[in-house]
Amino acid sequence: IPVLVYKTEPISGQTTGTSGMRKKTSVLVSNPSFLPNWVQSLFDALGGPSVLSGRTLILGGDGRFYNKTAAQTILRMAAANGFARVIVGRNALLTTPAVSALIPAREALGGIILTASHNPAGLDGDWGIKYNTGSGAPALQALTDAIYEKTQKIFEYKLADFGADIDLSSEGITSFAEGKFVVEVINPVDHYLTMLRSIFDFDALRELMARPDFSMLFDAMHASTGEYARVIFGIELGAGFRAVLNADPKEDFGGGHPDPNLTYAADLVDALDPTKNADAPQFGAASDGDGDRNMILGRGVFVSPADSVAIIADYASKAIPYFGKKGLKGVARSMPTASALDRVAEEKGVPLFYTPTGWKYFTNLMDAGKINICGEESFGTSSDHIREKDGVWAVLAWLSILAFENRDKEVGQFVTVQEILLAHWRKYGRTFNLRYDYEAVDAADAELLMLNLKGMAAGIVPYAEEIRRVLEFEYKDPVDGSVASNQGIIVQTRTGGRVVFRLSGTGSEGATLRIYFELYEAPSADMPNKDLNVVMKDLVSLALDLARVEEFIDRKAPTVIT
């Protein structure tokens, strides 16, 4: 295949954040070198043709605008840089968990995922790209730093000249130069579904779906999980197509914000609320753009991600065959995630790890066999079946818990999500938790706010009597010894509350300040009746005052509360 070499120049700001490189789509559209510069830098950072030659690459994405154009460019660059085969999802669609699963299964060198996850899409929205390595795990800091360095020195990139675009709209194999380079377009769901069948008891799940006193709704938010949900919930488990909302992927996600939380998935929350919908189903769930996040709802109840991972860990060995065989080895949560999981770990006698925000920090622990369930407060939950968070997996985990609890219950005696949640609180106590996001604030203002808090952690800036301690979070990876500093400020109050402040690493404009609140209460009789907002009120105002939020960033209220 003829290779064309293009001259180029470094472009500033091609850094990788918490999860890939994300930019305004318009930045990519207006500069045709933007994407090739980054991809060539990636291929060079991986070691160039001597490492890539003869290898396989997985390619997919969340279906957003610009992905199809990007996929054609990446196919040409993969061929020019020595790859022998690219396995790509039909229409360039593959969820993040599906890519993570395919990489080791197909012995690929790695995978490229075209996604900005839950960020809105379209010409006015965001675009993003991330690279996962041979185990299926997101690239670690050492690699993303190396890619960035290459972007700042790049002077040329290479594309193979195929002539016309490759047809990605139907499954099949296109072969070039007598098979020296092959593009294999696959059904995006098949391999992932086969994997899930080996983890869960699909017969038990089908029985649950068939109950007359059970029904579910899944909201794919017009992003990548639509086809997965139709096939897995709709057909395989027999829930029917009407159980899946917004299943058709759209390049602009239907104008929505595919972030499954109480603010952006409000329609689904309403559909599960019996005071607004008399036919509210027993179970509801949603995923984000690239299918790695999940929101779990029961009739009239929201399961916070911190409770969700704790409950999944609690039930895993008895409700999910994968863990019945392996047992629970250990668990982990990201630092801002509330501590419900800790109490389950203690009860089960397994270790608990506590990591910075971002899935990549869990993956070394999994490879070392130290954990097999983990989660983040940002609606990410998964296990060591892959090296990413997995939205559909989390939904099946919850359905498995429901199937387990209801395995011999008569019709009409259905054990609900709410009852499972209450039983958990009664046993372990309740970890009240809440997050405020202030999106797209002025970056310099947000930095100053954080600097002031760092001053408190360093003992330079004084703070109120009610505060017990202010500290900065630094993580030393127990497997490879690498250190991640500057991972957020933790505030502990004298009443036992905890507040975490950090800046987001996934935005594309200005800064997003995230504030996480947590207050634990031991089991008590009136626990179920407590209102989250009432319980958290004092802690929230104490923290907002301490950090002088309104003053520093000039915002009266957050843009997201979840």
Q: Which residue is nearest to ligand VG1 (CB)?
A: 117
**Maximum Cα–Cα distance across the chain:** 75
CB 331 within 8 A of CB 344: yes
Q: Which is nearer to ligand VG1, 277 or 504 (CB)?
A: 504
Structure tokens at 448: 């100053």
Cβ burial, residue 162 (10 Å; 0-12/13-18/19+):
middle
When CB distances are held under 5 to 8 angstroms depending on the partner's kind, the choice from Co ion, ligand VG1, none that residue 291 binds is none
514 sits near ligand VG1 (criterion: CB under 6 A):
yes
Which residue among the candidates 19, 41, 100, 117 is catalytic per the annotation? 117
Tell me the sheet residues that pair with 287: 294
Strands 430-441 and 560-561: antiparallel
Query: Three-state SS across 26-90?
Result: HHHHHCCCHHHHHHHHHHHHCCCHHHHCCCEEEEEECCCCCHHHHHHHHHHHHHHCCCCEEEEEH
Query: Is there binding between residue 34 and ligand VG1 (CB under 6 A)?
Result: no
For residues 560 and 562, give the distance between their C-alpha atoms in angstroms, rounded to a whole number: 6
Q: How far is the CB of 232 from ligand VG1 (least distance, A)?
A: 19
Compute the residue count for the chain: 562
User: 250: which residues sit within 8 A by CB, 6+ positions away?
Assistant: 63, 222
Pick the binder of ligand VG1 from 19, 151, 224, 508 (CB under 6 A): 19
Binding mask 379-408 for ligand VG1 (x = CB under 6 A): -x----------------------------
Give CA angle at 469 (463, 474), nearest 5°: 115
Rounded to an integer, what is the distance from CA 342 to the centroid of its chain?
21
- DSSP H stretches of helix in 289-339: 305-319, 321-326
- 141: contact with ligand VG1 by CB under 6 A: no
Closest approach, Cβ 51 to ligand VG1, in A, equals 26
Q: Which is nearer to ligand VG1, 282 or 506 (CB)?
A: 506
Contact with ligand VG1 (CB under 6 A) among 126, 227, 314, 376: 376
The pattern of x and - marking residues 236 through 275 that bind ligand VG1 according to CB under 6 A reads ----------------------------------------
| Structural element, H or E, at residue 102 | helix 96-105
Please choose, out of 209-217, 228-236, 351-359, 364-372, the segment that lies near ligand VG1 by the rule CB under 6 A: 351-359
Among Co ion, ligand VG1, none, what binds residue 380 when CB lies within 5 to 8 Å by partner kind?
ligand VG1
Tokens representing 490 are 């933790």
378 is catalytic: no
Between residues 376 and 445, which has the closer beta carbon with respect to ligand VG1? 376
The nearest distance, CB 490 to ligand VG1, in angstroms, is 15
Rounded distance between C-alpha atoms, residue 153 and residue 171, angstroms: 38
Region near Co ion per CB under 5 A, out of 4-12, 74-82, 116-124, 483-491 = 116-124
- Dihedral, CA of residue 225, residue 227, residue 230 and residue 231, to nearest 10: -110
One of 64, 191, 222, 293 touching ligand VG1 (CB under 6 A): 293
Minimum Å gap between C-beta 363 and ligand VG1 is: 12
Report the interface residues with ligand VG1, using CB under 6 A: 18-19, 117-118, 288, 292-293, 334, 357-359, 376, 378, 380, 504-506, 514
- Give catalytic residue positions: 117
